[in-house]
Structure 1
């Protein structure tokens, strides 16, 4: 789910202050706008977590250790983690013995940021074009060129340039409006019945297509056209169609149903376009950018220039109904709209119930980075 612009209401981070800290490490290189501070704090400063949440969050993070063991930062810690019993006291002892706690703070000493949600939707569709299913879901186009900038500029780790060749010149790839109108030279993986389903599938970054025979086809992010993501919810606010506090998946759907003639205009406001690939169906969650199955309620998408993939975080926020939500979560995904010093997108699971939670999740929250003792903190990375 590498694109992962899952937060339909991609709004601005709010500000708050966190009192007291010790050693501070700052991130944010020349030419970037990010100033993240990792402020080392005592374990006792973390908000309390229930044993069940502790165990599930720890297991979600540990599930990625077979991949993390290749990372010198995590290799030793993961080796020890493999021996830890699934018992709350054992997990707490491991965490305190192996990891230090660093509160994430943003410019202006802010400690709170935006916590949103995403999910794996299920939409009706077909493997062939029908009278009802007229909206193609494209695989990766034949002419899409991807340049890994890190190979030339190591400071641009994780950044890629996308386009198409005209002779020897790399031109920007077609935007979403052009792709929708003219198509692309790419395999069609499925056909959906509603253009809004395709837009929200791209926002979520993965999903399932439910066929008429009841079978489901699982689709996952494969690539993107290189254009910046612009939230359609924000466009509706700018047009005066919705108030900022009204923006949710349900509200956007409702507006589209009430204004079918303006849906193409709404969709053109977002030039980004996501291409997919088929994945085997399974009861596991979809795979995120770390290529491990996501755990509902305990996997998050992050800005990898702030929080490296594979990290263990401590999250303190609320559910959409205001109920406190405190738990360890695993940074296992990324996304185009998940940008900022204190920013996370919580994966809620598959289907409509998860979608209802995700669509209303626009909460303030705090994050703490749990980092292996004695290992250097993450280095500055570029911010879009």
Structure 2
């Protein structure tokens, strides 16, 4: 079957609506409206798209993925099977960055390695459980064998929880990878916003590194600031990912530096290609793929860009706080099915 015939077949499918997105502002765009579209590396985007495409179950996605597996011209593939859609919910666009931290740790507690990474206890699965403060100052998790490893820096552990995944370099030189294993059911609160509210910094001054430095300079108030965020993340050990691959995202596949983003799945379908235009010091014009989520990623125009692994990636991610716009590429009929009747 030719690409053109399959595109026509997809256009004839009757598809369900898109949930929360039906109550938002939708605008169909043309590829000519995407700034920098012609210059992007569409093949790199297609390879990232293929990583998770096979896990998409809806009929229109399955048909598209069967073509993606053998598409020779990546740009033609995207332009033929997808429609660019801007989805708005009234909030400003915000792009941030995330990365895979690498911490020093041990399989057993020592004088240096005193801060544990926990697996999720069964009782935390049933709704709001103990807060961060109650977990860190109490003994609800002690002596239960829930520890995966111990690390030497509670500040880096806090940010590991925000990232949701990372690597622990053990004392024998080996490395274990951990991924998101659940949370305590409390809503995430930004400690950066809390510093701004207190008048310590302005919004434009706050970054991950600024927060880390402030916490370390304030041995009493620093830990208390971190406990302003009652959300607490538990981990699981990830053993099926090759060392050279990225961490596992929400689709249980490795994410790709510079091509994978975390989104709010209430608005952006996981697995969908997303065109990114960021503002700021180093603008980005690139086709990425929605392959992850995050507790702080809420809204139709909100995305977290995966930068990579290690300290350098962490510094880059920590500085990223840009406006711009994001446009979701949706299967053609799905895009038009989402529009209110008056816009058709």
Q: TM-score, normalised on structure 2?
A: 0.87
2:124 to 144, 167, 170: 144
1:206-259 residue CA offsets vs partner (Å, 9 max, x unmatched):
111111222211110010000000011111112222221111011011111211
Within 5 Å, give how 1:164-313 maps onto structure 2.
Answer: 172-185=128-141, 187-280=146-239, 282-313=243-274
Equivalent position of 2:53 in the other structure:
65
1:139-183 residue CA offsets vs partner (Å, 9 max, x unmatched):
01132233xxxxxxxxxxxxxxx2xxxxxxxxx310010001113
Equivalent position of 1:36 in the other structure:
24
Q: Are residue 77 (structure 1) and residue 36 (structure 2) matched?
A: no
* Alpha-carbon distance change, 366 to 217 in structure 1, aligned in 2, over 3 angstroms: same
Report the aligned-residue RMSD.
2.2
Q: Structure 1 residue 129: deviation in Å?
A: 0.3
Equivalent position of 1:48 in the other structure:
36
Q: Are residue 367 (structure 1) and residue 323 (structure 2) matched?
A: no
Contact kept in structure 2, 1:126 and 1:192, CA below 8 Å: yes
Query: Within 1, Cα distance between the matches of 2:335 and 2:328?
Result: 13
Query: Within 2, Cα distance between the matches of 1:45 and 1:38?
Result: 15
Q: Structure 1 residue 378: deviation in Å?
A: 8.3
Query: Within 2, Cα distance between the matches of 1:274 and 1:329?
Result: 26
* Alpha-carbon distance change, 220 to 94 in structure 1, aligned in 2, over 3 angstroms: same
Q: Are residue 130 (structure 1) and residue 105 (structure 2) matched?
A: no
Within 5 Å, give how 1:8-19 maps onto structure 2.
Answer: none
Q: Are residue 91 (structure 1) and residue 50 (structure 2) matched?
A: no
* 3-state SS, counterpart of residue 233 of structure 1: helix
* Alpha-carbon distance change, 188 to 50 in structure 1, aligned in 2, over 3 angstroms: farther
Query: Within 1, Cα distance between the matches of 2:298 and 2:336?
Result: 19
Q: Structure 1 residue 54: deviation in Å?
A: 2.1
Query: Within 2, Cα distance between the matches of 1:35 and 1:233?
Result: 31
1:21-65 residue CA offsets vs partner (Å, 9 max, x unmatched):
xxxx99758xxxx95322111221111236563221221112111
Query: Within 2, Cα distance between the matches of 1:230 and 1:377?
Result: 36
Query: Within 1, Cα distance between the matches of 2:334 and 2:204?
Result: 41
Q: Structure 1 residue 270: deviation in Å?
A: 0.5
Query: Within 2, Cα distance between the matches of 1:27 and 1:65?
Result: 21
* Alpha-carbon distance change, 93 to 50 in structure 1, aligned in 2, over 3 angstroms: closer
Q: Are residue 116 (structure 1) and residue 96 (structure 2) matched?
A: yes
Q: Are residue 323 (structure 1) and residue 282 (structure 2) matched?
A: yes
Equivalent position of 1:19 in the other structure:
none
Q: Whose strand fraction is larger, Structure 1's or Structure 2's?
A: 1
Contact kept in structure 2, 1:290 and 1:333, CA below 8 Å: yes
* 3-state SS, counterpart of residue 179 of structure 1: helix
Q: Structure 1 residue 376: deviation in Å?
A: 5.5
* Alpha-carbon distance change, 67 to 173 in structure 1, aligned in 2, over 3 angstroms: same
Query: Within 2, Cα distance between the matches of 1:211 and 1:80?
Result: 43
Query: Within 2, Cα distance between the matches of 1:56 and 1:183?
Result: 48
Q: Structure 1 residue 377: deviation in Å?
A: 6.1
Within 5 Å, give how 1:334-373 maps onto structure 2.
Answer: 334-373=293-332
Query: Within 1, Cα distance between the matches of 2:116 and 2:88?
Result: 42
Contact kept in structure 2, 1:141 and 1:184, CA below 8 Å: no
Query: Within 2, Cα distance between the matches of 1:379 and 1:94?
Result: 22
**Which stretches in structure 2 are left out of the alignment for 5+ residues?**
1-16, 340-344
Contact kept in structure 2, 1:307 and 1:378, CA below 8 Å: no
Contact kept in structure 2, 1:302 and 1:335, CA below 8 Å: yes
